[in-house]
Amino acid sequence: MITKPLFGPWDYVILAIVLLISASIGVYYRFTGGKQKTMQV
């Protein structure tokens, strides 16, 4: 019985893009602070 691969090449491309976007957002907030702007009462 021959089975088809579960993921094709485009699935890996999309996964890599999503991971890069997520990592870049994390790095952005790491270096810009990402602190709350509101004052605690």
Q: What is the pLDDT of residues 1-41, one digit of tens each?
A: 788 888 899 999 999 999 999 999 999 999 887 666 777 66
- Residue 33 to residue 40: CA distance in whole angstroms: 18
Residue matched to tokens 């270096």 = 31
Whole-number pLDDT of residue 41: 67
CA dihedral 15, 16, 17, 23 (to 10 degrees): 110
CA distances from 3 to 6, 8, 12, 13 (A): 9, 13, 19, 22
Copy the structure tokens of residue 6. Answer: 């579960």
Copy the structure tokens of residue 16. Answer: 């890599």
